[in-house]
Structure 1
């Protein structure tokens, strides 16, 4: 599966849903795909509120960990080859920085690099409801080449747990990179009733 797959940058911002980034790191590791993690300080706070994990536990799941302040990291340059980046979850602040190109940390700088190099950027934007400013930023970043993918549950697969919902989201995000993680049940079409006889 990972034969020719370049590294994937994983950004974890301070929006709710830290488990999305954690699960993404686990899946990439299971597939043998190198991950480069950058986590904001707000993400560390969210992680503590939403899980029993420590920051070190998340770092241990990544192939390479970059400090959010290290603007000299490999992922801050387009000459470092990657398949792209997934920000999971993506806060409105991070998305807005990416949309304007005015970046303040390594997470948003790395995303900016992905866009300028015309690589895949997937933003799991976690906010609701949305005001017009949010929607305009979504439009702007989409016009720049990113994919805005709010982690919306697919209830048609009848999830039985939060883990099922998370796996569906992460699996669909990796689909956008041409990676079949094999972690969720796909829709195969509706079963129509057999036609009756007259």
Structure 2
């Protein structure tokens, strides 16, 4: 079971590496890592388990955040219609995106960042993505709203990018052209 002490924090060199592509079939260890990442998110959103183990709530976590520099992450959150998205994503790519942008009005957070970082993080409002499941099945999905933002946040982790790298340093709350806020 992944706990908070297993999650590396900003400043750790692995968080700035470009993670390695994964090859199929995945090893048993790699499959277990995917399951563990997803289970962490499920546990972190369960008040009883989170409280018992001191877990911060998360909707996404990437393998580099547990010091494994591989192109894998998990997402666990509802979509705009209230359907639960529960995914382990391998070798993800954004194949297309909207011109329109979006950002979380309250700012983004990260399990690897133990402080509030004020400011808007510009993201694409809608994305079409391709990725593989842990069993090697290729998937294509369209995402919008918070799932699209979470996917982009986790994909950044695979490329050594932290969410605050996108924030306007001079004016963190500057209006983002052609973007609307996502109200949580």
Q: What TM-score do you get using the length of structure 1 for normalisation? A: 0.27
Question: Which structure: greater helix fraction?
Answer: 1
Q: What TM-score do you get using the length of structure 2 for normalisation? A: 0.28
Q: Which has the larger radius of gyration?
A: 1
Question: Which structure: greater strand fraction?
Answer: 2
Higher RCO (CA 8 Å, separation ≥ 6 residues): 2
